Amino acid sequence: MSSPTARDSLNGKTREDAWQLVQENVKNDGLRKHMLSVEGAMRAYAPLYDGDPEYWGILGLMHDWDWEIHPTMEEHPMEGVKMLREMGWPEDFLRSILSHATYSNIPRTEYQDRALFACDELCGLIVASALVKPNRSLAEVDARSVMKKMKDKAFARNVNREDIIQGASELGRPLEEHIEFVVRALQGISNELGL
C-alpha cells in the first residue's frame, strides 16, 4: 500500500491551507501543539511505509481541526469532515481523518490511517511525560519513561492506553519501538512544540 503524494492528492490544498484552518478554528494552544506533534510523528513515519511526508503530515495536522467546534463523539470528526468536504478536500484524505476515531466505524485500511491512529494518543502521552520532567523538555523523555507513565492510570488519564497498544499492533511494530520512534520524531520538532 502506498499513499498518494500531497501535490497529486489534496486537490491543490497545501499545508498553509491546513494551518490557516487550524489557526482560525483552534484557540487552545495545547490542542494546536498536539496537532503539530501528530504532524511531526506522521512526517517521520511516512517514508517507512512508502508514504509522502507532506500528505501524511497534513493529515496529522488536520485530524483534530474541528474539536473545538464539535467537542463530542457524536460530532467529531464526522461534522468536521463534512465541512472539509464542502471546502474541496479529497475523499481519501477525509476517510483517513474519520478512521482515527474508532467510534466512526471507518476501517483503517491504509498505512496512513494506521499511523494516524497509532500516533494520536501516543503523542499526547509523550508530551504529558515531557511536561512533568524537571526542564519540561522532550530531551529528557525516552521510551522507558513513557512506558512507565503509561502504567500509571492516574497520569494523563484522558490518554487511551488501549488505543496506543492497538495502534502499535496495527502498524506491526513492537510497542516500545513505536514509542521510541515517536519520541525521537517529537524531539526533532521540540522547538516548534516549545518543549
The pLDDT of residue 1: 47
Enter the C-alpha cell of residue 128: 504529558
pLDDT digits (tens, 9 = 90+) for 103-119: 999 999 999 999 999 99
Task: Show the beta-strand stretches assigned E in 79-152.
Answer: none
- Indicate the average pLDDT of the chain: 94
Compute, in degrees rounded to 10, the torsion defined by CA atoms 99, 102, 106, 111: 40
The pLDDT of residue 7: 53
The residues, ordered by sequence, that sit 6+ positions from 145 with a Cβ below 8 Å of its Cβ are: 129
CATH topology of domain 6-193: Hypothetical protein af1432 (1.10.3210)
Give the C-alpha separation, 163 to 159, whole Å: 9
Closest CA to 195 of 187, 178, 180, 61: 187
Mean pLDDT of 130-159: 95
Using the predicted structure, report yes or no on whether residue 145 has a pLDDT greater than 90: yes
Using the predicted structure, report yes or no on whether residue 2 has a pLDDT greater than 70: no
Mean pLDDT of 133-162: 95
Give the C-alpha separation, 119 to 91, whole Å: 21
